[in-house]
Amino acid sequence: MNPILLAIILVPVIEIYLLIKIGSQIGAMSTILLIFTTAIIGVYYAKYEGLNTLKSGFAQLSKNETPAYEVISGAAIAFAALLLIIPGFATDTLGFLLIFPVSRKIIFNRLAKKFKPKKNKENNFIDGDYEDIEEDNDRKI
């Protein structure tokens, strides 16, 4: 099954389950207030971190360096803000993990290790022969 389709199906199911479980423990109004509080705090902190990332990116550009980490961080912060706006506790947890710089760096390092090209100890060569062909002898019309 397609992983994106699976995520589209599973995320709301997990969110509904967590909302019911937490709501039964702390009450409905407390759960609703907690959802709004995490969304408001998260969006403001995402704005703060986004501006810090933007400043860092401009500092990299002024040094004539490529702000690759800042670009990826900015995209992660935008995605985290979206996750924090979506009501639910699982998306809020993932959103806060992406917003905080320490956890974001840990996540990026793990993803970088996963997608790093693996060095192959074998040399992959294709043996073959070649022959120089001069254009004058090849075809004359």
Convert the pLDDT of each residue in 76-124 to its tens digit: 999 999 999 999 999 999 999 999 999 999 999 998 888 877 666 566 6
Mean pLDDT of 33-58: 93
pLDDT of residue 128: 77
Identify which of 31, 34, 21, 77 has the alpha carbon closest to the alpha carbon of residue 54: 77
Mean pLDDT of 8-33: 93
pLDDT of residue 1: 77
Q: Which of 23-27, 29-33, 87-91, 123-127 has the lowest mean pLDDT?
A: 123-127
Q: Indicate the pTM of the whole model.
A: 0.75
Q: How confident is the model at residue 132 (pLDDT cuts 50, 70, 90)?
A: confident
pLDDT of residue 114: 84
pLDDT of residue 141: 55
Mean pLDDT of 1-17: 90
Residue where the block lists tokens 């703060």: 48
End-to-end CA distance of the chain: 60
Give the CA-trace dihedral at 74, 105, 41, 43, to 10 degrees.
10
pLDDT of residue 123: 65
